[in-house]
Chain A
Amino acid sequence: MTAVPLRPPRRLLEFTLDGEQTRAPEGATILDACRAAGKDIPTLCQGDTLTPKNACRTCVVEVEGARTLVPACARGAEAGMEIRTDTPRVRHSRKVVLELLASSVDLSTTPGVQDWLKEYGAEPARFGPDAATVNETPRVDNDLYVRDYDKCILCYKCVDACGEQWQNTFAIATAGRGFDARISTEFDAPLTDSACVYCGNCIEVCPTGALSFKTEFDMRADGSWDPSRQTETTTVCAYCGVGCNLTLHVQDNEIVKVSSPHDNPVTHGNLCVKGRFGYQHVQQGRR
């Protein structure tokens, strides 16, 4: 029998969302309330398994009485709040933030972002041909996964997943400051000289494809990567007795990457190297 912990019922907060009276349980964020109300708020740095870092600022909304816009992903809903999610001021900030990102990093593998660029009328090209870009080349320093920081929006999710929120390995951190800030190991050492244990939990949370399986990276390079030909099968990892869920992404009878369901109440999408990359063992000699 599984014990279901009894919690005191959560108080409902009342506030207005785009003019409509709305309720959300205490502790809900504005983003939770928006999603419950079926509103599409763009988010990039928010992660379902991580504490909000509110760094990207695409999710900003207007709250009556606040001097600046507030990040929906991080700000808790409060009783009596008047929240607006689609004012000209909100749309302006989202548009500019998307332009700033798209003009400085490669967003080609960031899901959803092309639609938002269109929806907000973003024109990243208007900063001119000489606009500074992050300008990084992919770091291919091990056989399992690739770090292509040219695609990195500095959402901090990988750092949080590798560090105290999940993996407790602390192999990577943000280094440098301002526009020169990068995710990095100590002295930018190759991953093989770092503390990395290749759990791939950073890949699991990366919203941009900056971190990807070497298989995916190579297939994209040779043009054979094709999600429409892929199937996903969720199974239980057979390596040890913990029983983590694995989702195998299969293209042309080959496992091309492994993810793990974020709603698993125990593992929240995290795996170890065996679950994440052990398939290479299963199908050695593929390439």
Chain B
Amino acid sequence: MDLHFGDAEPSADEREAVDALLGPPASTWEGAADRTGGDLRWARRGRRVAGRRDLLLPGLHALNDRVGWISEGGLGYLCRRLEVPPAEGYGVATFYGMFALTPRPATVAHVCTDLACAVAGAPREALQGAVCHPSPCLGLCERAPAALVVRAGEGGPESARTRGAGEAAGSGELRGSERSGGLGGSEESAAGTVAAVPPQTAAGAAAPADRHATAVVAPATPEAVDLAVRAPHAVADEPSAAAAVPQAGDPGLVLLRRIGTVDPASLDDYRAQGGYAALRRAFELGPAGVIREVTDSGLLGRGGAAFPTGRKWQATAARPEQPHYLVCNADESEPGTFKDRVLMEGDPYALIEAMTIAGYAIGAHRGYLYLRGEYPRALHRLRHALARCRTRGLLGEDVLGQGYAFDIEIRRGAGAYICGEETALFNSLEGHRGEPRSKPPFPVERGLFGKPTAPNNVETLVNVLPVLGMGASSYAALGTGSSTGTKLYCVSGTVRRPGVYELPFGATLDELLDLAGCERERLRAVLLGGAAGGFVRPDELDLPLTFEGTRAAGTALGSGVVLVLDESVPLPLVLLRIAEFFRDESCGQCVPCRVGTVRQEEALRRIAERAGSDPHGTADDITLLRDVGQAMRDASICGLGQTAWNAVESALDRLGAYA
């Protein structure tokens, strides 16, 4: 490979941002600015970070965090350091919604335009001194409408993980997190709530206006967004994660039981409330014993596919190839889903403990946590928690003195729903475009870096704690015979108490809507399972919420989205928004999805614009939708294309849309 780099030079800021992540370059061959005598005599290449293509995405983040966009010089420098062909670097950078490859102001307001927020009326107009970037669902639906303001500058998340040659990737993170860990043990209790990601220590720091900052604004009134854009550092008072859990404090809760009662920053508090008992139990049981418990518990994956977790772990553990990897899928981007965010923000140590148990069971020594890019508070809390666990021997070379080595690295997504698909996630993490791979081979055989990998959703993993805590048989007694345990639901839309709810499997939709305060008189439909799910009519609310029950009823639980629509919401616009979402989020790899999602959106737009004036035209468009939908379902590579027509189909067949 003979790489060719253009003439564009990085700016000092860009160079610094990349070097903060990768360490300084060793020679001009690697991109150093000053040539030494030695460089004239020997071609010394980037031994330290070459071959670390997986650092491409963190590097792109570093540039974007620092400057607000990715320039030719910046990208060229990053690619030179990592020995990635610039055309491929460009291909990767252009894949993600959060990056810009042309200049833009340092402050960007990502304004959610998705279902729940559109229902609540998100502001879309341009803002003073910032760009407004329409964004798919930001996962803040309980406080819709939502916006995320990001100001580029020094001290962004990637700069906090300087990492050099032989240094284990994880330990870099330790240092960074300790720096920001200066906020002490009790960030939440101190101020009641914690706000936007607090700026890191002030030592020699630039003025706040030049520092990287993020601010979550929800509900995003025009005034609140305007304020956040002007001073994202000053935005305070994001409510505690418990505010998203109307049931908080209910003793019947299993997965959510600590949310709102535990201090998410305090490891001691976590341990005082039962934390790390499950890991001790795991060490007693041994890896095979853990897998047996998880299998016997009947735990099914909560990421959408409902695959038996025990079987996945067994298959990964049994592979002879080494190393094995654990991947926690925290990319949560299905419109209307925010349960994983609430778990990570409200009880971060629980996820870390659960990942440690999973890693132990499958024989992995490294876990990756692929976190949705738009979740700054979860990032901050998890980093802080990881650092605490390392200093206290709960992660690292010798976990709990049991001779088991395990560490976790967080990787940030960058605005691509498709990267939640497990094989696309692997590609993204490896520094390639987030395009799904074809299966077989399955992740348990060849996953991350081509090695046996168990990818699991956040909620799935957190379930392992009660499985070990109460034992498989007690756990399996919860819920129904084939859907065991409890399930988290993300209720949004026209209800009085939107938020994350936990109910044992088998509860009906009716019961859930009662809890959330839904007025039945005005109810038009419930979208179950998200954009890839299906609609339920007001006369079908006795539907039991189980994997098998929803499947039998022709819908899906999916990731637990329950979007409630009343009569004030025009259905054609909801369908159009769903179609837009799939069009925007298709990776573009295969024809049925790449072009089919466009044709689907065009047809729905025509129908919506006609507003009933040309029934023949509409009938033709419905035929077209069915034809394209069938081909997308049958012939697409991955679940995105295969389900892109589900909601529209169910609106036609169950709600009689356009009839």
**Residue ranges of A at the interface with B (Cβ–Cβ < 8 Å):** 54-58, 60, 68-69, 71, 74, 89, 92-93, 96-97, 100-101, 103-104, 126-128, 130-132, 153-154, 163, 168-181, 184-187, 189, 193-195
User: Could you tell me the distance between the alpha carbons of A131 and B601 in the complex, rounded to whole angstroms?
Assistant: 10
Return chain B residues, CB-CB under 8 Å to A187.
72, 75, 90, 101
Q: A68-B636, A189-B6 are in contact. Are A173 and B595 (CB under 8 A)?
A: no
- For residue B4, CB closer than 8 A to chain A, the reply is yes
Closest to A68 in B: B634
Closest to A126 in B: B624
Q: Of B75, B94, B592, which one neighbours A57 at CB under 8 angstroms?
A: B592
Return chain A residues, CB-CB under 8 Å to B76.
186
Q: A93-B592, A171-B87 are in contact. Are A195 and B634 (CB under 8 A)?
A: no
- For residue B633, CB closer than 8 A to chain A, the reply is yes
**Residue ranges of B at the interface with A (Cβ–Cβ < 8 Å):** 1-4, 6, 72, 75-76, 85-91, 94-95, 101, 416, 433, 438, 583-592, 594-599, 602, 606, 620, 624, 627-628, 630-631, 633-637, 642
Pairwise interchain contact B91-A184, C-beta atoms closer than 8 A: yes
Return chain A residues, CB-CB under 8 Å to B599.
100, 103, 127, 131
Pairwise interchain contact B583-A55, C-beta atoms closer than 8 A: no
Q: A193-B6, A195-B87 are in contact. Are A131 and B591 (CB under 8 A)?
A: no
User: Could you tell me the distance between the alpha carbons of A7 and B85 in the complex, rounded to whole angstroms?
Assistant: 37
| Minimum C-beta distance from A35 to chain B (A) | 20
Q: Of A89, A96, A174, A186, which one neighbours B596 at CB under 8 angstroms?
A: A96
Pairwise interchain contact B598-A179, C-beta atoms closer than 8 A: yes
Q: Of A58, A96, A177, which one neighbours B628 at CB under 8 angstroms?
A: A96
Return chain A residues, CB-CB under 8 Å to B3.
170, 195
User: Could you tell me the distance between the alpha carbons of A163 and B4 in the complex, rounded to whole angstroms?
Assistant: 13
Pairwise interchain contact B87-A186, C-beta atoms closer than 8 A: yes
Closest to A185 in B: B87
Pairwise interchain contact A97-B592, C-beta atoms closer than 8 A: yes
Pairwise interchain contact A96-B85, C-beta atoms closer than 8 A: no
Return chain A residues, CB-CB under 8 Å to B637.
54-55, 57
Sample of 12 A–B contacts (CB below 8 Å): A68-B633, A89-B634, A100-B591, A126-B624, A127-B599, A178-B594, A186-B6, A186-B72, A186-B89, A187-B90, A194-B4, A195-B87
Return chain B residues, CB-CB under 8 Å to A193.
6
Return chain A residues, CB-CB under 8 Å to B1.
168-170
Closest to B624 in A: A126
Nearest 10 A/B pairs, CB to CB:
A170-B85, A195-B4, A181-B588, A96-B631, A173-B91, A100-B595, A186-B86, A178-B586, A186-B90, A93-B635
Pairwise interchain contact A170-B87, C-beta atoms closer than 8 A: yes
Return chain A residues, CB-CB under 8 Å to B594.
154, 178-179, 181
Pairwise interchain contact B635-A57, C-beta atoms closer than 8 A: yes
Q: A93-B635, A128-B602 are in contact. Are A55 and B590 (CB under 8 A)?
A: yes
Return chain A residues, CB-CB under 8 Å to B91.
173-175, 184
User: Could you tell me the distance between the alpha carbons of A132 and B3 in the complex, rounded to whole angstroms?
Assistant: 36
Pairwise interchain contact A60-B75, C-beta atoms closer than 8 A: no
User: Could you tell me the distance between the alpha carbons of A131 and B75 in the complex, rounded to whole angstroms?
Assistant: 35
User: Could you tell me the distance between the alpha carbons of A177 and B633 in the complex, rounded to whole angstroms?
Assistant: 20
Return chain B residues, CB-CB under 8 Å to A74.
438
Closest to B601 in A: A132
Closest to B638 in A: A68
Pairwise interchain contact B602-A69, C-beta atoms closer than 8 A: no
| Minimum C-beta distance from B198 to chain A (A) | 33
| Minimum C-beta distance from B77 to chain A (A) | 13
User: Could you tell me the distance between the alpha carbons of A92 and B592 in the complex, rounded to whole angstroms?
Assistant: 12
Q: Of A71, A97, A127, A178, which one neighbours B583 at CB under 8 angstroms?
A: A178
Return chain B residues, CB-CB under 8 Å to A71.
438
Pairwise interchain contact A169-B595, C-beta atoms closer than 8 A: no
Pairwise interchain contact B628-A100, C-beta atoms closer than 8 A: yes
User: Could you tell me the distance between the alpha carbons of A126 and B6 in the complex, rounded to whole angstroms?
Assistant: 45
User: Could you tell me the distance between the alpha carbons of A179 and B628 in the complex, rounded to whole angstroms?
Assistant: 16
Q: A69-B635, A93-B631 are in contact. Are A184 and B87 (CB under 8 A)?
A: yes
| Minimum C-beta distance from A185 to chain B (A) | 5
Return chain B residues, CB-CB under 8 Å to A55.
589-591, 637
Pairwise interchain contact B85-A195, C-beta atoms closer than 8 A: yes
Return chain B residues, CB-CB under 8 Å to A178.
583-588, 594, 597
Pairwise interchain contact B628-A173, C-beta atoms closer than 8 A: no
Return chain A residues, CB-CB under 8 Å to B584.
178
Closest to B629 in A: A96
| Minimum C-beta distance from B380 to chain A (A) | 28
